[in-house]
Amino acid sequence: MSLYKYVREAWRKPRDNRELWRERLLAWKQEPTTQKVEHPTRLDRARSLGYKAKQGYIVVRQRVTRGGHVRPQIKGGRKPKRSGTRLSLHKSYQVIAEERAQKKYVNLVVLNSYWVAQDGEYYWYEIILVDPEHPVIKADPKINWISAQKNRSRAFHGITSAGKKSRGMGGKGIGYEKARPSRRAHSRTQ
């Protein structure tokens, strides 16, 4: 088997090594919410999503709080029926993680992301970011498409892999007529 296959097998059941898992999560909880990392934790997954170990690529570990999203209660000036405090979350936590990493690193572009860990309080995702102005990136024909202006804020437009999944872009044919260009745009044409 190749190295990547062994790594993939190890990540099928990551909690088998409980001590390593516990130590890792305790260390990650002490870190800032957005932490730049030297190497991807899951090398096989990062490589399959487009990561290359060369200049212009950066990996960031992003922590996202789990649970219900409750906004503060508004005290006055509303109808009672408008005073709901629970927000329905229409985005996945992975999309939220990508957006927060994009806000932190404004000059970079989100390429993709993948799950790394979770516990009762947090999710951790690793986000692959690319510098669109780096000469190495501009010279590489496989990735220089990311330098185009329309791809600069992929995370906010929902055109990363996780974003497309959140928007329901996975299928085609009967039952998916209303998904494109977006559910909101389709409903406005009616």
For residues 128 and 151, is the Cβ–Cβ distance under 8 A?
A: no
Per-residue model confidence (pLDDT) at position 190: 66
Percent of the chain with pLDDT over 70: 97
**Burial class of 134 by CB neighbour count within 10 A (0 to 12, 13 to 18, 19+):** middle
Q: Which domain holds residue 158?
A: 3-189
Split into its structural domains, the chain has a count of 1
Q: How far, in Å, CA of 58 to CA of 92, rounded?
A: 22
pLDDT at 93 over 90: yes
The residue type found at 22 is R
Condensed to tens digits (0 to 9), the pLDDT of residues 12-35 reads 877 777 777 888 899 999 999 999
57, β-bridge pairs:
130
Per-residue model confidence (pLDDT) at position 50: 92
Q: What is the CATH number of the domain that holds 58?
A: 3.40.1120.10
Q: Report the predicted TM-score, pTM, of the whole model to 2 decimal places.
A: 0.85
Condensed to tens digits (0 to 9), the pLDDT of residues 117-174 reads 998 899 999 999 999 999 999 999 999 999 999 998 899 999 999 999 988 888 888 8
Per-residue model confidence (pLDDT) at position 87: 67
